[in-house]
């Protein structure tokens, strides 16, 4: 499996304070990867480095290229969606299509127009006349019409209602993603992307604190709901976290036998959000 992004010792500081502090990770082709971290953890700085928008120290290769010196070539194979507000309010749908067609060699106007036919957008409509959900539809149609190898999404559904958020990811899977493409997502709405992720990266204080596949996460981490009379036995196994729900204790364990935990109570695989909260406790202290 080929590597799309490889980072070794990635560093970037602002005013002497590290935003990235030796981040090591790699992302393989044909994967959907969630880069999850609290505010200020280094997510946006990492994305800027990957996209060639920010200087950095260390080693970083994206599709085999150095983003610092080969950005023009790199961006022929990379697409980026941030908050949808980046589209100018004055631009019309047809002007946006014309613009992308003029600058991106791998843009298919036919495919974009086919995608737009399934929306309520018309060619003369301006961005300032659209709802935020309609802007997302335009943005997604423009991006999905580009035959890019890497799609980077930075909080792509921020501010959208739940219907549009679900539609966004449904369209992304049905009309864009395949084994030749790779998607990197950062979002605070972890629960809504968990079902589409193949891989998980947690970032904390500028370092990667967890790098795993979703399958490996399900094997490695386990939650168990324990009655009060067995709580001390559970604590002796050194859980990552403990929380109280309806008078019972829920413990989160890393690499402890499920058979052993099953003797203490009901076991389950933790959600990504539960794992994130447990591993990031103290970050906001």
User: Out of 9-23, 42-56, 161-175, which region has the weakest mean confidence (pLDDT)?
Assistant: 161-175
Architecture of domain 217-279: 2-Layer Sandwich (3.30)
Q: Residue 214: its pLDDT value, please? A: 96
Mean pLDDT along residues 203-208: 93
Q: Which of 84, 86, 83, 64 is nearest to 73 (CA)?
A: 64
- The pTM assigned to this predicted structure is 0.89
Query: Has residue 1 got a pLDDT over 70?
Result: no
Query: Has residue 170 got a pLDDT over 80?
Result: yes
Q: Which CATH number fits domain 3-205: 3.30.470.20, 3.40.80.10, 3.40.50.300, 3.40.190.10?
A: 3.40.50.300
More confident residue, 32 or 118: 32
List the domain boundaries for the chain: 3-205, 217-279
Q: Residue 276: its pLDDT value, please? A: 92
Asked whether 234 and 249 are in contact (CB, 8 A), the reply is: yes
Mean pLDDT along residues 188-201: 90
Query: Has residue 178 got a pLDDT over 90?
Result: no
| DSSP letter string, 221-269 | EEEEEE-GGGHHHHHTT--SEEEEETTEEEEEEES--HHHHHTTSEEEP
Mean pLDDT along residues 196-213: 94
Q: Which of 221, 196, 215 is nearest to 277 (CA)?
A: 221
Asked whether 230 and 246 are in contact (CB, 8 A), the reply is: no
Q: Residue 179: its pLDDT value, please? A: 79
pLDDT-derived band at 285 (thresholds 50, 70, 90) equals very low
Q: 76-114: b or e for each residue (b if 16 or more CB lie within 10 Å)?
A: ebbbbbbebeebeeebbbeebbeebeeebeebeeeebee
Q: Which pLDDT tens digit goes with each residue over 103-117?
A: 888 999 999 999 898
Per the prediction, the chain carries an average pLDDT of 90
Q: Residue 85: its pLDDT value, please? A: 59
Mean pLDDT along residues 199-212: 94
- CA 69 to chain centroid: 25
């Amino acid at each position: 499996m080929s590597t799309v992004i490889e980072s070794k010792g990635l560093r970037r500081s602002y005013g002497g304070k590290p935003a990235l502090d030796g981040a090591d990770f790699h992302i393989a082709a044909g994967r959907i990867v969630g880069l999850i971290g609290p505010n200020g953890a280094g997510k946006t700085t990492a994305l800027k480095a990957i996209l060639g928008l920010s200087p950095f120290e260390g080693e970083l290769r994206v599709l085999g290229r150095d983003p610092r010196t080969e950005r023009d070539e790199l961006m022929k194979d990379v697409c980026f969606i941030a908050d949808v507000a980046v589209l100018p309010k004055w631009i019309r749908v047809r002007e946006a299509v014309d613009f992308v067609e003029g600058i991106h060699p791998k843009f298919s106007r036919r495919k974009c127009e086919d995608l737009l036919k399934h929306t309520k957008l018309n060619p003369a409509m301006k961005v300032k006349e659209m709802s935020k959900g309609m802007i997302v539809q335009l943005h997604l149609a423009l991006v999905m019409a580009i035959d890019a190898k890497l799609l980077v999404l930075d909080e792509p559904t921020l501010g959208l209602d739940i219907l549009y958020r679900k539609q966004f990811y449904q369209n992304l899977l049905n009309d864009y993603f395949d084994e030749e493409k790779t998607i990197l997502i950062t979002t605070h709405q972890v629960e809504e992307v968990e079902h589409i992720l193949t891989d998980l990266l947690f970032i904390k204080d500028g370092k990667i604190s967890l790098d795993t596949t979703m399958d490996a996460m399900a094997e490695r981490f386990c939650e168990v709901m324990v009655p009060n009379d067995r709580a001390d036995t559970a604590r002796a196994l050194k859980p990552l976290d403990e929380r109280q729900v309806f008078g019972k204790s829920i413990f989160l364990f890393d690499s402890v036998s499920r058979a052993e935990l099953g003797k203490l109570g009901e076991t389950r695989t933790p959600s990504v959000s539960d794992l994130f909260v447990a591993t990031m406790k103290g970050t906001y202290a």
